[in-house]
């Protein structure tokens, strides 16, 4: 019995291969985008975890020399004074075309490292690392390259691959690093170990010239990048939802078409429970199949997107992420689970209806108009409720989660409101329509709404997201470009190798340029309201350039005068928003250093807090302020000559000099890379929405004939009807696009004013880009037109006898 | 003393992962690795041999002292500097293959404090030199004259410190056969000499406050490349000073082929007599797990040729050294045919 | 002659035997004709051909003097709009339009909307109370009355009806048929009715029987 029933159920799919393909494609697409995002997130998180474990010492305080490296002898002297420290030497190492970061640590004193722990089993590893030619640890891909490249090197170090080493990093013993970097008697910093003996002389007395920097509490990378990943996840979820619209539509149709069969099977004595069970099993099997295909697709999408994501995370947050993708059980599991759960959710309604269907009820003959009106009212109420809930969530839930809850409520609510809104528009259109065909067209579209509504919701979401995210990105870019123009005031930037050279360069430059603007900063951990934040405090010299150009968002009277007199401080927007302070408040940078805030400036460089004080003021309160970087003001035409002269005179590497234009280009390049993924996901989502329209039109096909046949019989040609079919799809898409515009702008506003503030700490002005809307509008019409083209062509080619069958066949 | 400790050192200390299986097999043949082997009959030369021997794999400067406070409260301290070579020889800077490890402890009947230091050779963070003599790691020092007659000893950890003056009251004692000390029936051996007769004065800083202390100290110097046989899993080591002025260094190496005991009897005038293997009998009487693994904390020692039949008991059974390579080391009280105080070390009980 | 069918043959694509093998008949304006025949005898097919709904293979059909064989899709659609009206067994109505809109649909499509005539038809068909309803909300008999009203509203020269009461019970069937014949006569419309009921066939001016693809 079970076998026979299964065969009967399966025969449906054999007879409707397109429907089956649609269902599987919908599932696969939904799973693909979701699991792609999950794969990317998993990969990034794994990279952070590796990095956090490797640089696990990040939580320790450290000692640095403000001007550059520290002589090795200083380390030995402090050790012999009893201080438990661990030296670190780091540098950039050129290997052929590649620039690598070499981190040399001292394995005896360094806190335990996972990469090293793996070596413990190997008795030859340590002698090799310390006493023999050296041992380099690197991520597997880099390790392979290293082994090849080092092949020729005499007394070459051995290379070991380790999954525990962050990408792009070569981890080794400090002695090996010193050899590779050619810095035998230097270290860059010392980690202050947690366990110290009693009775030590204070470091401030032993090494007043060294700067003690606080360790970072918790994982900064994770905190900073959380917002980015939440963003991606939201996108993945959206794509998944859009894909599920397809699944819901197809499964619903398949059940609708199998009503007669189900009724027959039940009449033949198949228990409903068994039948429901079989159908559930069938749906789950399809979900599994579609989910697996989706995972494969997702892997490809993720592999294609990951390099850009990795670049973004590196550029934006300095978070090390490998560009390679590994299969991880986490996202494979989550992808399959989502496919199954999503299919179940999308099929439950259809299953429930089939299970409750009486054996003998006649089909149809229900008052669809009344039913539709009632459903439409309910849906509108639910939509309004969701939007209200979203607004409530923003108010009730702190932080980014609240922001995303607002977005979710807004988007889903608006999607639910779409069919009622479209119905109203179509009613309006029909009242305005002249001509009987036009009237019929509007009425027919309204009648079609319940069937195609879900696909249109998907389109609405995709379009609104496109508009919203597009507006956000472009607004951001516009603001960012303007800000760069303002902020990068110097024509040339130079970085000296150490403080002494810095001072020398400054002296040498003084008579040659209009102004030398030192860029000097120290990290402070303020008290008071801003406690718990790390604030990078910059000292500035009094120069017109700052007063003329610095991008201030809010100012108090005489702001610059007061700051330059050392009586006030400027803070960046991030700090102002995070702590909730502004002009009129004051900032306690150190126990004995409290300054009123004279202004807030915009700062899109990174998400951390910053402040600006007068240079003398900074030097008075910080013992060790590096003096290696300078901005130079000079006529733009003289830049190349001066740069060359500087290079020659001080033997500076190419990277030590960067002109304004190059810096700007670099910054913008990083910016653009950041949003490559967003753009790609945007386009994919729109593609899925277009596909959803196609599938719903195709699945509606058999239901369309009874609507069209009478009109044809009354004297419309098939080509007219085919054109009307396309027109209908275009019109629905156009109306949806029109409704998507305000929603998209609302979304953009939420992104700029809520999400950005939560994620980065800055609010951006919103700019409008009508040309983009037009382009998107055209894209939506194109998608809808393409989606309708296939059914329209089928209609155009349909033999009249097929249309005539409608009048003879019972449903 | 703790030879196996050193064998594990080069790996275990670096990665904080004890190396049980490595044992001897992991080290391979000493000759292959290029390390020197102790030679029977080679005379020790001082002060040269107070300094390091980088061509040998392992070496230590090992000082223990039994002390008493003004009110007679017994204390003990340990100060040890180990040297372990990843490869024979010495080099400048980070390229030095020498690794140094310091252990310091202060023990009373109720408390046991210890600390550990690690350092690389070649950069000056740790080392030993003569002319004048100095052994150091970080701020821990044992320094004095080249005859090791008068030394100053300092160390500090997170909750204790000491600063002691040591004055030798007798001559150096060459262990075994003129400093050639056999460690197994197979002939494994080390160079080994001691200064067992320091008079100690100084200050002990404990969480409860500083204590002025006096007492007796015992310095062991030993170096080798392969001091244990393959089957030997641990040892029990005694350095005992009797009220008569006589002293006993004895050890029991526990092996699957049976125990190997040996030692040296040092008369009150400093005359040393090597014990024949097996002459000393050591029998555990009572065990304790007060600070971790179960170790014997009461022993019966018998040396019939000296009419010695004593019971020794740990001052503090919890004197466990929870360092990267863990062992038990602490002061003991002696009762029976002879009375006195000493130090006991036990390794290989934490497997 | 309003309708001249001359030696028409038709074979459906994929069928092994022709459904019509040289059928000829004529129908004058205002005349009513009943066509009976077994299931599958081709009577519906002949009706469809007469209504320019489908193409035939051989012979010729003239509708209002116009030969159908030369007409393209658009020409046949125009002919359907302006000269013929159709009533089928079921699914006559446009589901998305109300009764009133359905009633006026064909007339407006044909460019001959006549409010008074439609109002009279609505009254005569007993649909006055139902004009705002949608087809799904009507009974079978009501639906067929709307279909008849819509067909006649356009004042076609020829009304083609294919078993218009085939789905109705006997009472409803008689009532609908009575109304249709009455209105056809009143408006002077020619009627080509396909039915399997001899009783109904006898009420029309002429009665032909189709068997084996030929008129007998």
- Per-position DSSP letters for B239-301, written without gaps between them: EEEETTS-EEEEEEEEETT--EEEEEEE-TTS-EEEPPTT-SEEEEEEEE-TTSS-EEEEEEE
Work out the pLDDT band at B60, boundaries 50, 70, 90: very high
- pLDDT of the residue at A478: 84
Highest mean pLDDT among A241-245, A591-595, A693-697, B289-293: A591-595
Tell me which of A119, A130, A194 to substitute to probe the interface with B (most B C-beta atoms closer than 10 Å): A130
Between A440, A800, A810, which is nearest C94 by CB? Answer: A440
Helix H or strand E encompassing A22: helix A17-54
B133 neighbors B37 (Cβ within 8 angstroms): no
Per-residue pLDDT reduced to its tens digit, A1-44:
678 778 888 888 888 787 788 788 878 888 888 888 888 877 77
For chain B, say whether A185 makes contact (Cβ under 8 Å): yes
Per-residue pLDDT reduced to its tens digit, B223-271:
988 756 666 778 899 999 999 999 999 999 888 777 888 899 999 988 9
Q: Which long-range contacts (CB under 8 A, 24 or more apart) does C113-118 make?
A: C114/C153, C114/C155, C117/C153, C117/C155, C118/C149, C118/C153
DSSP code of residue C39: T
Between A117, A123, A195, which is nearest B17 by CB? Answer: A117
- pLDDT of the residue at B330: 95
How buried is residue A204: exposed, middle or buried, by Cβ count under 10 Å (0-12/13-18/19+)? exposed
In 3D space, the residue among A60, A51, A62 whose CA is nearest the CA of residue A169 turns out to be A51
Q: Do A108 and B13 touch (CB under 8 A)?
A: yes
pLDDT at B40 over 50: yes
Q: Angle, nearest 10°, between helix axes A499-509 and A639-650?
A: 140
In 3D space, the residue among A220, A211, A221 whose CA is nearest the CA of residue A189 turns out to be A211
A54 neighbors A166 (Cβ within 8 angstroms): yes
pLDDT at B18 over 70: no
Considering only residues 57 to 86 of chain A, which have any Cβ-Cβ distance to chain B shorter than 8 Å?
72-73, 75-76, 79-82, 84
pLDDT at A760 over 80: no
- pLDDT of the residue at B160: 95
How buried is residue A182: exposed, middle or buried, by Cβ count under 10 Å (0-12/13-18/19+)? exposed
Helix H or strand E encompassing A181: helix A174-181
- pLDDT of the residue at B13: 39
Whole-angstrom Cα distance, residue A490 to residue A564? 19
Whole-angstrom Cα distance, residue A37 to residue A233? 6
Q: Do C91 and A806 touch (CB under 8 A)?
A: yes
pLDDT at A95 over 90: no
Phi, psi of A770 (to 5 degrees): -55, -30
A613 neighbors A569 (Cβ within 8 angstroms): yes
Question: Is the CATH number 3.40.50.2300 carried by domain C3-215?
Answer: no
All chains having 3 or more CB pairs closer than 8 angstroms to chain C: A
Q: Do B120 and A185 touch (CB under 8 A)?
A: no
ipTM for the complex? 0.91
Evaluate the CA torsion angle C96, C100, C104, C106 in order and state its sign.
Answer: positive
Phi, psi of C206 (to 5 degrees): -130, 160
What mean pLDDT is predicted for residues B173-180?
90
Helix H or strand E encompassing C59: strand C58-63
pLDDT at A367 over 60: no
- pLDDT of the residue at C186: 87
Helix H or strand E encompassing A493: strand A492-495
Q: Do A713 and C13 touch (CB under 8 A)?
A: no
Work out the pLDDT band at B193, boundaries 50, 70, 90: very high
The lowest-confidence range among A2-6, A710-714, B149-153, B183-187 is B183-187
- pLDDT of the residue at A61: 80
Highest mean pLDDT among A50-54, A315-319, A492-496, B91-95: B91-95
Q: Do A807 and C110 touch (CB under 8 A)?
A: no
Work out the pLDDT band at B15, boundaries 50, 70, 90: very low
What mean pLDDT is predicted for residues A225-245?
69
Q: How is residue B332 written in tokens?
A: 């003991």
What mean pLDDT is predicted for residues C13-37?
88
What mean pLDDT is predicted for residues A619-647?
86
What percent of chain C clears pLDDT 70, i.e. is strictly above it? Answer: 100
Q: Do A713 and C53 touch (CB under 8 A)?
A: yes
For chain C, say whether A358 makes contact (Cβ under 8 Å): no
pLDDT at A152 over 80: no
Per-residue pLDDT reduced to its tens digit, A492-544:
888 887 778 888 999 999 898 998 998 888 888 787 777 777 788 889 998 88
What mean pLDDT is predicted for residues A574-600?
88
The lowest-confidence range among A125-134, B194-203, B278-287, C203-212 is A125-134
What mean pLDDT is predicted for residues B335-344?
95
pLDDT at A695 over 60: yes
Q: Chain A partners of B104 at a C-beta cutoff of 8 Å? A: none
Tell me which of C12, C63, C71, C94 to substitute to probe the interface with A (most A C-beta atoms closer than 10 Å): C94
- pLDDT of the residue at B19: 32
Whole-angstrom Cα distance, residue B297 to residue B242? 19
Q: Chain A partners of B87 at a C-beta cutoff of 8 Å? A: 127, 131-132
What mean pLDDT is predicted for residues A740-749?
90
First to last CA, chain B: 18
Residue of C nearest to A800 (CA): C54
Q: Chain A partners of B120 at a C-beta cutoff of 8 Å? A: 106, 108, 130, 175
For chain C, say whether A804 makes contact (Cβ under 8 Å): yes
All chains having 3 or more CB pairs closer than 8 angstroms to chain A: B, C
Distance from chain centroid for Cα A792: 39
Between B94, B125, B136, which is nearest A175 by CB? Answer: B94
Q: How is residue A409 written in tokens?
A: 């409520």
Q: Do B124 and A76 touch (CB under 8 A)?
A: yes
Highest mean pLDDT among A240-249, A341-350, B120-129: B120-129
For chain B, say whether A88 makes contact (Cβ under 8 Å): no
Phi, psi of A175 (to 5 degrees): -65, -40
A to B contact (≥3 Cβ pairs closer than 8 Å): yes
Evaluate the CA torsion angle A425, A430, A431, A433 in order and state its sign.
Answer: positive
The lowest-confidence range among A49-53, A346-350, A434-438, C117-121 is A49-53
Between A437, A712, A715, which is nearest C78 by CB? Answer: A715
Whole-angstrom Cα distance, residue C3 to residue C17? 26
- A to C CB pairs, distance under 8 Å: 99
Q: What is the mean pLDDT of chain A?
A: 81
pLDDT at B114 over 80: yes
Between B15, B120, B159, which is nearest A106 by CB? Answer: B120
Per-residue pLDDT reduced to its tens digit, C112-171:
888 899 999 999 888 989 988 888 888 888 888 899 999 999 889 999 998 888 878 888
What mean pLDDT is predicted for residues A213-234?
60
Q: Do A123 and B22 touch (CB under 8 A)?
A: yes
Per-residue pLDDT reduced to its tens digit, A250-283:
777 777 777 777 777 877 777 888 888 888 888 8
pLDDT at B61 over 80: yes
A766 neighbors A470 (Cβ within 8 angstroms): no
Whole-angstrom Cα distance, residue B278 to residue B252? 9
For chain B, say whether A155 makes contact (Cβ under 8 Å): no
Work out the pLDDT band at A734, boundaries 50, 70, 90: very high
What mean pLDDT is predicted for residues B24-51?
73
Using the structure block, give the residue that is written with the tokens 């110290």. A196
Helix H or strand E encompassing A439: helix A436-487
Whole-angstrom Cα distance, residue A219 to residue A50? 12
Q: Do B14 and A108 touch (CB under 8 A)?
A: yes
Q: Dmax of chain A from CA atoms?
A: 104
Q: Chain C partners of A712 at a C-beta cutoff of 8 Å? A: 77
3-state secondary structure B129-196: ECCCEEEEECCEEEEECCCCCEEEEEEECCCCEEEEEEEECCCCEECCECCEEECCCCCCEEEEEEEE
- pLDDT of the residue at B147: 92
What mean pLDDT is predicted for residues B76-99?
92
Q: How is residue B138 written in tokens?
A: 């970080």
The lowest-confidence range among A265-274, A770-779, B287-296, C50-59 is A265-274
Residue A123: helix, strand or coil by DSSP? coil
Residue A641: helix, strand or coil by DSSP? helix
Identify the bridge partners of residue B287 per DSSP, sorted by sequence position.
Answer: B296
Q: Angle, nearest 10°, between helix axes C115-124 and C170-187?
A: 150
Q: How is residue A752 written in tokens?
A: 């700029």
pLDDT at A433 over 90: no
pLDDT at A175 over 60: yes
**What residues does each domain of chain C span?**
3-215
- pLDDT of the residue at B116: 94
What mean pLDDT is predicted for residues A91-105?
79
Tell me which of A117, A131, A133 to substitute to probe the interface with B (most B C-beta atoms closer than 10 Å): A131
- Domains of chain B by range and CATH? 3-15+57-346 (2.40.370.10)
C191 neighbors C159 (Cβ within 8 angstroms): yes
Work out the pLDDT band at A798, boundaries 50, 70, 90: confident
- pLDDT of the residue at A53: 55
- pLDDT of the residue at A313: 67
- Min distance A523 CA to chain B CA atoms (Å): 30
- pLDDT of the residue at B138: 95
A165 neighbors A79 (Cβ within 8 angstroms): no
CA angle B132, B133, B137 (to 5 degrees): 130
- Min distance A187 CA to chain B CA atoms (Å): 12
Whole-angstrom Cα distance, residue B41 to residue A603? 78
All chains having 3 or more CB pairs closer than 8 angstroms to chain B: A
pLDDT at A224 over 60: no
For chain C, say whether A702 makes contact (Cβ under 8 Å): no
Instruction: Please state, in angstroms and as integers, the Cα–Cα distance from residue A330 to each residue in A167, A326, A333, C83, following that order.
Output: 21, 11, 5, 70
Higher-confidence residue of A315 and C36: namely C36
Number of H helices, E strands in chain A: 27, 20
pLDDT at B79 over 90: yes
């Amino acid at each position: 019995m079970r076998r026979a029933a299964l065969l009967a159920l399966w025969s449906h799919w054999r007879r409707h291969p397109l429907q089956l393909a649609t269902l599987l494609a919908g599932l696969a697409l939904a799973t693909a985008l979701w699991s792609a995002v999950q794969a990317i997130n998993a990969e990034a998180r794994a990279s952070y975890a590796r990095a956090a474990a490797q640089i696990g010492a990040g939580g320790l305080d450290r000692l640095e020399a403000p001007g550059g490296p520290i002589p090795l002898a200083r380390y030995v002297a402090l050790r012999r004074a009893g201080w438990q420290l661990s030296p670190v030497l780091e540098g950039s190492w050129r290997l052929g075309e590649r620039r690598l970061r070499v981190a040399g640590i001292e394995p005896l004193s360094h806190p335990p490292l996972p990469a090293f722990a793996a070596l413990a089993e190997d008795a030859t590893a340590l002698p090799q690392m310390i006493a023999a030619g050296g041992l380099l640890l690197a991520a597997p891909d880099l390790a392979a390259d290293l082994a090849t490249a080092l092949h020729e090197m005499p007394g070459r170090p051995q290379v070991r691959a380790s999954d525990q080493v962050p990408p792009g990093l070569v981890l080794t013993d400090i002695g090996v690093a010193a050899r590779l970097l050619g810095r035998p008697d230097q270290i860059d910093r010392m980690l202050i170990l947690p366990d110290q003996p009693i009775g030590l002389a204070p470091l401030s007395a032993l090494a007043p010239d060294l700067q003690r920097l606080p360790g970072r509490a918790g994982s900064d990378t994770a905190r900073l990048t959380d917002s980015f990943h939440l963003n991606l996840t939201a996108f993945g979820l959206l794509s998944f939802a859009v894909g599920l619209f397809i699944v819901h539509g197809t499964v619903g149709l398949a059940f609708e078409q199998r009503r007669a069969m189900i009724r027959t099977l039940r009449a033949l004595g198949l228990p409903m429970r068994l039948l429901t069970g079989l159908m559930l099993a069938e749906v789950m099997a399809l979900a599994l199949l579609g989910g697996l295909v989706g995972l494969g697709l997702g892997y490809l999408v993720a592999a294609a997107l990951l390099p850009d994501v990795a670049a973004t995370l590196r550029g934006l947050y300095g978070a090390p992420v490998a560009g390679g993708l590994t299969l991880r059980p986490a996202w494979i599991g989550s992808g399959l689970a989502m496919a199954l759960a999503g299919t179940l959710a999308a099929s439950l309604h259809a299953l429930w209806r089939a299970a409750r269907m009486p054996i003998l009820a006649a089909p149809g003959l229900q008052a669809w108009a009344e039913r539709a009106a009632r459903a439409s009212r309910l849906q509108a109420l639910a939509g309004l409720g969701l939007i209200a809930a979203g607004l409530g969530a923003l108010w009730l839930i702190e932080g980014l989660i609240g922001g995303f809850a607002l977005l979710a409520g807004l988007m889903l609510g608006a999607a639910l409101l779409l069919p009622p809104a479209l119905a109203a528009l179509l009613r309006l259109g029909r009242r305005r329509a002249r001509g009987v065909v036009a009237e019929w067209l509007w009425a027919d579209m309204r009648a079609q709404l319940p069937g195609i509504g879900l696909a249109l919701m998907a389109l609405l979401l995709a379009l609104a997201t496109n508009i919203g995210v597009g507006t956000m990105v472009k607004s951001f870019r516009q603001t960012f470009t303007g800000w760069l123009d303002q902020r990068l005031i110097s024509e040339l930037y130079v970085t000296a190798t150490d403080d002494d050279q810095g001072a020398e360069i400054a002296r040498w430059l003084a008579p040659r340029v209009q102004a030398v603007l030192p860029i000097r900063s120290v990290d402070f951990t303020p008290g008071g309201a801003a406690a718990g934040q790390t604030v990078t405090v910059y000292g500035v010299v009094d120069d017109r350039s700052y007063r003329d150009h610095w991008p201030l968002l809010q100012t108090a009277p005489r702001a610059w005068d007061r700051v330059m007199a050392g009586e006030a401080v400027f803070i960046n927007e991030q700090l102002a928003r995070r702590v909730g302070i502004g002009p009129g408040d004051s900032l306690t940078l150190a126990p004995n250093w409290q300054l009123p805030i004279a202004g807030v400036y915009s700062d899109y460089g990174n998400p951390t807090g910053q402040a600006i004080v007068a240079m003398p003021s900074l030097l008075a309160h910080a013992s060790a302020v590096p003096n290696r970087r300078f901005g130079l003001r000079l006529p733009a035409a003289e830049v190349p000559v001066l740069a060359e002269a500087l290079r020659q005179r001080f033997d500076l590497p190419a990277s030590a000099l960067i002109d304004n234009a190059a810096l700007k280009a670099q910054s913008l390049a990083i910016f653009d890379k950041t949003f490559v993924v967003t753009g790609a996901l945007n386009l994919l989502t729109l593609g899925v929405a277009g596909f959803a329209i196609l599938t719903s039109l195709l699945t509606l096909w058999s239901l369309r004939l009874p609507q069209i046949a009478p009109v044809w019989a009354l004297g419309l040609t098939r080509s007219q009807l085919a054109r009307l079919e396309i027109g209908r799809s275009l019109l629905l898409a156009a109306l949806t696009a029109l409704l998507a515009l305000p929603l998209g702008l609302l979304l953009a506003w939420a992104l700029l004013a809520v999400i950005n503030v939560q994620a980065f700490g800055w609010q951006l002005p919103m700019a409008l880009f009508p040309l983009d809307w037009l382009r998107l509008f055209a894209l939506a019409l194109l998608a809808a037109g393409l989606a309708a083209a296939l059914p329209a062509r089928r209609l155009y080619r349909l033999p009249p006898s097929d249309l005539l069958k409608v009048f003879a066949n019972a449903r | 003393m703790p030879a196996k400790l050193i064998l594990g050192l080069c790996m275990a200390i670096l990665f904080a992962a004890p190396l049980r299986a490595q044992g001897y097999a992991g080290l391979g043949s000493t000759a292959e690795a290029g390390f020197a082997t102790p030679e029977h009959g080679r005379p020790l030369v001082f002060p040269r041999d107070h300094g390091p021997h980088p061509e040998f794999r392992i070496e230590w400067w090992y000082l223990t002292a039994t002390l008493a406070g003004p009110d007679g409260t017994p204390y003990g301290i340990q100060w040890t500097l180990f040297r372990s070579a990843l490869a024979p020889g010495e080099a400048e800077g980070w390229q030095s293959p020498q690794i140094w490890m310091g252990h310091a402890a202060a023990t009373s009947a109720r408390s046991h404090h210890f600390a550990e230091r690690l350092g690389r050779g070649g950069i000056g963070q740790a080392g030993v030199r003569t002319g004048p003599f100095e052994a150091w790691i970080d701020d821990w020092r044992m320094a004095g004259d080249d005859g090791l007659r008068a030394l100053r000893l300092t160390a500090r950890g997170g909750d204790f410190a000491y600063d002691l003056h040591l004055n030798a009251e007798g001559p150096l004692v060459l262990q075994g056969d003129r400093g050639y000390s056999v460690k197994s029936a197979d002939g494994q051996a080390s160079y080994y000499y001691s200064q067992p007769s320091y008079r100690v004065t100084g200050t002990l800083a404990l969480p409860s406050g500083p204590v002025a202390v006096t007492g007796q100290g015992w310095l062991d110097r030993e170096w080798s490349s392969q001091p244990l046989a393959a089957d030997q899993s641990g040892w029990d080591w005694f350095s005992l000073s009797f009220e008569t002025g006589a002293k006993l260094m004895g050890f029991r190496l526990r092996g699957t082929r049976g125990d190997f005991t040996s030692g040296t009897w040092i008369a009150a005038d400093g005359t040393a007599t090597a014990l024949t293997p097996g002459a000393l009998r050591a029998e555990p009487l009572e065990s304790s797990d007060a600070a971790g693994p179960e170790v014997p904390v009461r022993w019966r020692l018998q040396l019939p040729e000296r009419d010695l039949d004593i019971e020794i008991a740990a001052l503090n059974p919890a004197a466990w050294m929870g360092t990267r390579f863990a062992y038990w080391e602490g002061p003991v009280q002696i009762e029976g045919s002879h009375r006195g105080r000493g130090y006991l070390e036990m390794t290989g009980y934490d497997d | 002659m309003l309708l001249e069918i001359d030696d028409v043959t038709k074979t459906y694509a994929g069928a092994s035997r022709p459904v019509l093998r040289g059928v000829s008949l004529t129908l004058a304006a205002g005349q009513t004709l009943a066509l009976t025949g077994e299931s599958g005898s081709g009577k519906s097919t002949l009706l469809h051909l007469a209504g320019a709904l489908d193409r035939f293979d051989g012979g010729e059909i003239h509708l209002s003097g116009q030969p159908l064989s030369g007409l393209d899709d658009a020409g046949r659609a125009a002919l359907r709009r302006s000269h013929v009206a159709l009533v089928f067994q079921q699914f006559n109505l446009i589901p998305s339009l109300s009764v009133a809109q359905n009633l006026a649909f064909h007339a407006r499509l044909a460019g001959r909307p006549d409010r008074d005539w439609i109002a009279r038809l609505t009254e005569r068909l007993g649909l006055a109370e139902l004009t705002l309803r949608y087809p799904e909300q009507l009974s079978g008999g009501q639906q067929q009355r709307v279909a008849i009203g819509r067909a006649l509203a356009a004042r076609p020269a020829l009304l083609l009806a294919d078993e218009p009461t085939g789905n109705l019970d006997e009472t409803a069937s008689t009532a609908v048929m009575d109304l249709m014949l009455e209105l056809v006569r009143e408006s002077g419309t020619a009627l080509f009715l396909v039915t399997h009921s001899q009783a109904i066939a006898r009420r029309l001016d002429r009665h032909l029987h189709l068997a084996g693809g030929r008129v007998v």
